[in-house]
Chains A and B, each alone.
Chain A
Amino acid sequence: MIPFNFEYYKPSSIHEAVQLFQRLDTEEKQPIYYSGGTEIISLARINILYTKAIIDIKSIPECNVLHLEKDQLVLGACLPLTEIEESNFYPLLTKTIQEIADRTARNKITIGGNICGQIFYREAILPFLISNSQVVIAGIHGIKTMPIQQVFHQHLHLKKGEFLVQMITEKADLHLPFISIKKRQQWDTGYPLITVTAAKKPSSSFIENSSNQSLTNYERIQIAFSGLNPFPYRSEEIERDLNQQHLSLEQKVDLATSHLPEPILDDFEGSAQYRKFVMKNTLQHVLSTLEVQ
């Protein structure tokens, strides 16, 4: 039960939505965009979130697109996670989001909501971080499409009044060999200790550096994490470590675990030391699995 009232708007176009936001903002209504709303409802209930106006963007057509085009996959921000899972255009994404919350909740949680959420795991972003993906963002000045790396640093950097409309992923990246693992404190329920998603991608820089390696066995591992720190991320440094061709698997993992960004989460789900232990095991598992794929 939400202990305060708010106004409710359900615009049917992007333009209408951003206009509304601007107006409500000038009226000091602290408006927020609302998609699945699961997090908004649960944080409002315990007084962690407050607003006088919500703007439900679920009727905006662009936010509901689920479309595999000639060379890209377009996913609207308001798609429930289970709908994306069922279409399964991007198996790595399916695998990753399947581990979020539980199935009934995922009928309501949307991909945009998870990516833009306050609860910091935001695991739905991981597959986009390691693929060629773009985000479509709407604001008062119109719609812009930007590479994810430019706008996602720990969280999606949206300016006031902007909202996420779509995620676009290059088709070539949808079916790379991948692995996605979620490790929890215990068994199959709960937030992650760590979630790791990784994919193996043919390297474009390979041709220039090549000496006598064969083209087929040089593939670059791209990897992103959640749960290790209070934000999801992809780290170039760790990727460099894991892609050191001359090192053994153990050496790669050791090197990578020495480069984990601080501070490592240290909370009731798991201590920082233990998270590192889990990370190390998981990285080993990731590398050995991707190696045979």
Chain B
Amino acid sequence: METIGKSIIRKEALDKVTGTAKYTSDHLSLPMLHAKMVISPYAHANITHIDLSEAWKIPGVRAILAGEKFPLTGEEIRDRPPIAYDKVRYCGEVVAVIVADSPAIAKRASSLIKVNYEPLPVVNSPNQAYENNAPVVHENIDSYERIKNVYPEVNTNIANRTKIRKGDMELGWQRTEIVVEADFSFSPSDHAAMETRCVIAEIREDETVVITSSSQSPFMIKKLLHVYFHIDIGKIVVNVPLVGGAYGGKASVQLELIAYLASKAVHGRKVKILNSREEDLITSPVHIGLDATIKLGCSRDGVLQAAEILYLFDGGAYSDKAVDISRAGAVDCTGPYRINNIQCDALCMYTNHPYAAPFRGFGHSEVMFVFERTMDMLAKKLKMDPIELRLINAIKPGDTTPTQLAVNKSNVGNVSECILKLKKIMNWDEGSIKQVSNTKVRSKGICCTWKNSTIDPDASSGVTLTFNPDGSINIISGVVEIGTGTKSVLAQMLAEKLKMDVRQIYVQMEVNTKSTPDHWKTVSSRGSFMAGRALLNAADDIIRQLKDLTACILRCSKVDLEVGLGKVYLKDTPDIFLNIKDICYGYMYPNGNAIGGQIIGRGTYIQRRVTYLDPETGAGNPGPEWTVAAQGIELEFDLLDYTYNVIRAATVVDVGKVLNEKTALGQIIGGMSMGISFAGRETFQFDQAGRILNPQLRTYRPLRYGEHPKYEVEFVETPVIDGPYGARSAGEHGLIGMPAALANSLSAAAEVDLNQLPLIPELIWKTKEGAVDDSL
């Protein structure tokens, strides 16, 4: 292969190091108004009165949206008013929006809006939401419109329940000789992309709605604006320039709706709304939290026999994508193992927390933390090496998943090989724990992960290819460039396919829903898979057209032709050829006659044979393929004060095929960094009343330079047969196992089970001695 696998530099690299790369908020235009939100300081309260009089006195205020009943929104259950009406259900919820001539005026006016609240009892965790007498966050769940396959339970806080019923639990427990039970919990946290969300909306004279947004889901914005506000779908155009980090958080559609309403309130004038960091952290949707209870059993030989799991996802105040996240958690509710008897209930709970968006890993880092931590507890009880326990149970072709799908080599990859390679990288045979001084130990911990992509069964992608007169090609795809470099990887695939120089391939970075073919959403690491397949189809389309035309001109059969190196040539006599540049805009005979016309390539891809899950058993085909991995952490732990440093972090992941080595490494390492940060430090701190105490980056603290460990990454390449060049998705998989690996390593070092996040020294102190030690 010429291009595939190589570390080709991304197409927009120069723009990004010179400051010329444009993101949504970099679009400045003069006749533009600015919107500012007023957000709730309460987690749950009735809005008794809103006084706008002082705000209206500020010159330059053009509109105020408050106390108005707009259509309810939400991707699966329509439970969310875009601007709170009557009631607020989380701290940070939007209660009013001011539109004004400048950001400063909007801000000044926003601080003059007086809202009176009557606080209500707060649901402050999924466990609490699940209690019988818990306050109810939504009284009339059954009155909400909803899609098929979502099952809210009336008079409870349960937005949805996904059931996994596999095998025979009674039999499973009979065969069980060793059993562990444990509880887990962690609060919501955040994506904290460096670019805060930003939207510009306008409604033109002909009623065309034009949105520019820092979004992963331009086509979903278009669809939902149509569904919620009954705008003709053809009159909605969504532009997405470069996006400054997303990680799932920009897949939710929220700010776009507010910007649209704001523009409508000023007769369609252009309105820009840029989240402050505080709003971006708590008003916009967050990373889901989880409470879980698990019981896991095996026979004395270490073979897993039964798993009984309750996942209570903290969907927050509104269900939006949380239902789907909880469903994804059910699909891969265990680690990548053969377990014949599984009972799992994954519930999406309403609480008075900010609501959840997808987060890199889509429910998987969360459930893997629970399951893989439990695996270590089981290994300890069994007195078996945790790697050995995982090797014994690793899922293999012919085994079935929790949704009862029989797996094969192509769709599941090779877990065992990942484990064995990791074992080597971690020098596991030297022992997993070592005293390095009087007060310090070095400790290692590992875990396995897997993830399928449970996106909509009919999710699809399209690609258009056009030629430039010199034979170079433009790729037009609906994938958003959020940092993953996917579009540059598409260029590489095309270069490979057409045996071209990748510099001869241009990509359109921006997405415009009017001129760009639909790509479902740039989420779930599906970019290179789905758009890659669509691209290869489009390339085939070009090749076919080139051959048809050439066959006619060269008077030969098209099966005798080959395309490559900028030419269409006879396979057996390559010196008989036509240059692509001479035919891609039609071919002209010496006498002036022309045939052909410009060649436009068209390719699409739609997911194959994915099914909805059976509502009683969860049985079904949840998605195209799994990516499996084994991950490890080595750290140094201080036995006296319980502080620690992560020394190194390792990942072995079966990516099917490495398409661009450095890009792939960047994705995996970036994911690991984010996973360590989430596991080790990041969480929203809620007080008793559900208010968030740390809505700034000085108190909500992503990992910084110097806190990062040494990273080690290795790839396994078990091709997925229908993936482009055999590649699997890999964008999220660096992250998924980090919480479990860190917790396992720390639990071993501290000799105590650490089943909460984040893993700060105070948690270790509290678990070890805090509860009893009052003598200080």
Contact = CB atoms under 8 A, between A and B. Distances in A.
Given A277-B765, A281-B641, A47 B111 contact: yes
Interface string A1-27: 111100000000000000000000000
A189 B694 CA distance: 14
A211 interface: no
A270 B776 contact: no
Interface of B: 103-104, 107-108, 111, 278, 640-641, 645, 680-681, 685, 693-694, 698-699, 701, 704, 706-707, 758, 760-762, 765-766, 770, 773-774, 776
B121 to A, nearest CB: 22
B697 to A, nearest CB: 10
Given A47-B111, A268-B693, A188 B707 contact: yes
A268 B694 CA distance: 8
Given A268-B685, A281-B640, A189 B776 contact: no
Interface of A: 1-4, 46-47, 185-191, 257, 267-268, 270-271, 273-274, 276-278, 280-281
Contact of B776 (A4, A186, A276): A276
A3 B698 contact: no
A225 to B, nearest CB: 16
A131 to B, nearest CB: 28
Contacts of B774: 273
Given A186-B760, A268-B693, A1 B776 contact: no
A190 B681 CA distance: 11
A187 B707 contact: yes
B36 to A, nearest CB: 9
Contacts, number: 62
A1 B762 contact: no
A274 B706 contact: no
| Majority DSSP secondary structure for residues of B touching A | loop
A119 to B, nearest CB: 10
A230 to B, nearest CB: 15
A186 B107 contact: no
A10 to B, nearest CB: 22
A21 B103 CA distance: 30
Contacts of B645: 187
A186 B680 contact: yes
A185 to B, nearest CB: 6
A278 B706 CA distance: 23
Given A185-B762, A186-B681, 18 more contacts: A3-B107, A4-B108, A47-B111, A185-B681, A186-B680, A186-B758, A186-B760, A186-B761, A188-B707, A191-B699, A268-B694, A271-B762, A273-B770, A273-B773, A274-B762, A277-B765, A277-B776, A280-B776
Given A270-B762, A274-B762, A274-B765, A187 B685 contact: no
A243 to B, nearest CB: 21
B641 A268 contact: no
B513 to A, nearest CB: 31
A3 B704 contact: no
A270 B693 CA distance: 13
A280 B704 CA distance: 28
Contacts of A186: 680-681, 701, 758, 760-761
Contacts of A4: 108
Contacts of A187: 645, 680-681, 707
Contacts of B773: 273, 277
4 shortest interchain CB distances as A-B pairs: A268-B685, A3-B107, A276-B776, A281-B641
A188 B704 contact: yes
Contacts of A270: 762
A211 to B, nearest CB: 35
A189 B108 contact: no
Contacts of A274: 762, 765-766, 770
